[in-house]
Chain A
Amino acid sequence: QKEVEQNSGPLSVPEGAIASLNCTYSDRGSQSFFWYRQYSGKSPELIMSIYSNGDKEDGRFTAQLNKASQYVSLLIRDSQPSDSATYLCAVLASGGSYIPTFGRGTSLIVHP
């Protein structure tokens, strides 16, 4: 069973702070990693994808990947109340279906 683990939270940060979301995965051969944002009752929306070790930045978002330690993280700089949502980590494992496995998500609350 290929697993993706996330702390369920909630993670509470003040407006303007950096929010750090973490994800670990079990399949060492995993190749592709995704972060989705999901507002309550809505569908997941892709924020970022990352495929190689290191950092990838897109606006206020930075994804970090460390394949040796099998973790991927998402940093949100200058957090805004509109960033309050559940963040889902998804991992595409080696072989198999080419359909990513999702973690259970971390709830983020950004308070003014």
Chain B
Amino acid sequence: EAQVTQNPRYLITVTGKKLTVTCSQNMNHEYMSWYRQDPGLGLRQIYYSMNVEVTDKGDVPEGYKVSRKEKRNFPLILESPSPNQTSLYFCASSLSGQGFSYEQYFGPGTRLTVT
């Protein structure tokens, strides 16, 4: 089954404790991205990657890191989480290249609470 998976789905942590949210896709998509979603603010892009070892900042990258060492994986790293990073996080992937539509497929989401 074609899908994007994220782990963990729910996480409660404390300020300053480093954490990683994993994202994996089995569709051989080149493009992957991370979003956070907060009430009233919609989906905001954190980071995106257009290929292995190619990443770039989105609209709200502060406090986050990413890496893309393999095509299928795109982990999101919070080195020192703070309460303002409490949010619902989504990973997404899409095809690229001429003739493709860049339609995004989303993972199930990770609800993060930082106390």
Contacts and interface: CB of A to CB of B under 8 A. Distances in A.
Interface of A: 8, 32, 34, 41-46, 49, 51, 88, 90, 92, 97-105
B42 A99 contact: no
Given A97-B48, A98-B31, A99-B48, A46 B103 contact: yes
Interface residues of B, number: 25
B102 A92 contact: yes
A32 B42 contact: no
A78 B103 CA distance: 26
A100 B92 CA distance: 11
Given A43-B109, A44-B90, A104 B103 contact: no
A45 B106 contact: yes
Given A102-B43, A104-B41, A97 B107 contact: no
A8 to B, nearest CB: 8
Interface in B27-78: 31, 33, 35, 40-43, 45, 48, 50, 56, 58
Contacts of A104: 40-42
Contacts of B94: 98-99
B42 A103 contact: yes
A78 B12 CA distance: 42
B55 to A, nearest CB: 11
Contacts of B107: 43
21 contacts: A8-B40, A34-B104, A42-B108, A43-B90, A43-B109, A44-B43, A44-B104, A46-B104, A49-B103, A88-B42, A88-B43, A90-B104, A98-B96, A99-B48, A99-B94, A100-B102, A100-B104, A102-B42, A104-B40, A104-B41, A104-B42
